[in-house]
Structure 1
Amino acid sequence: MSYPQKSYVEHVAVRVRDIQWHIDFFYQVLGMDVREIDGPADAPNQYWTIGGMQLMSTPGFEAPPSNDAGWLAHIGIMVEDLDAAIAEAHKWKVKQLPQGRNWLQLPDGLAIELIQASGNSVVEVLAINPRAQ
């Protein structure tokens, strides 16, 4: 290994047709609060969450088919209470995927895998400010 240090993904940017729907979903279903907004708060161009999502408003966006090698396969999201998160997500009329009840497809085609976290790991990770100097 030529780079002896460790790394991690700090955020994932996704294009969405309806940014407000996605902001509301990630906040109300998964508790991902705002970290930063680009543009007006009521119609942002981009929206970053605490928890690693960057939503990019792209009203005419059409996701390629899920079997296209260039498309993001899915995003795995650690949750404190898997059953509660799944129940809340279904209120948003998301589609359950064949991989299991914790695999969901959002309206723009984005697939998410909800994963039960152990102990206080979600709180502990979110308490870290990776951009602090």
Structure 2
Amino acid sequence: MGDLIAWLFSFFILIAVLALVLYQLMCFLDLETDYINPYELATKINNIMLPEFITQGVLCVLHLVTRHWIMFLFCLPYLYYNVNLYVHRRHLVYATEVFGELSREKKQRIFKLVYLAFLLFFSIFWMIWSIVDLE
């Protein structure tokens, strides 16, 4: 039963990270269609980045603490990438440079979205596996 609760927490945390990345992607699409200005985009994205990093870190630690080794190993590259971005201060979006980096930033968010969808698929798989294992 405890394993199922851990998978449910993992599922909801993963949904939260997905929502944060999807929000960032929508902000970039809004900039591309000229619904928001670059300064507003930079403020929105920069305010969302740290909660995304923290939430993904919590997800990785949850898998480590609950001894879900495969999911921990799947989450580790994404955590390393986020820590690397944060340490080198490349996680910030600057309003003056946003149009030059728009394509790269969108591709980065789409890659994150695909990777998180991959993690979500495996999380749902292991959650169902733990439900079947209870019976």
Provide TM-score, normalisation by structure 2.
Answer: 0.25
Larger Rg: 2
| Structure 1 or 2: more helix by fraction | 2
Give the TM-score of the pair, scaled to structure 1: 0.25
- Greater strand share, 1 or 2? 1
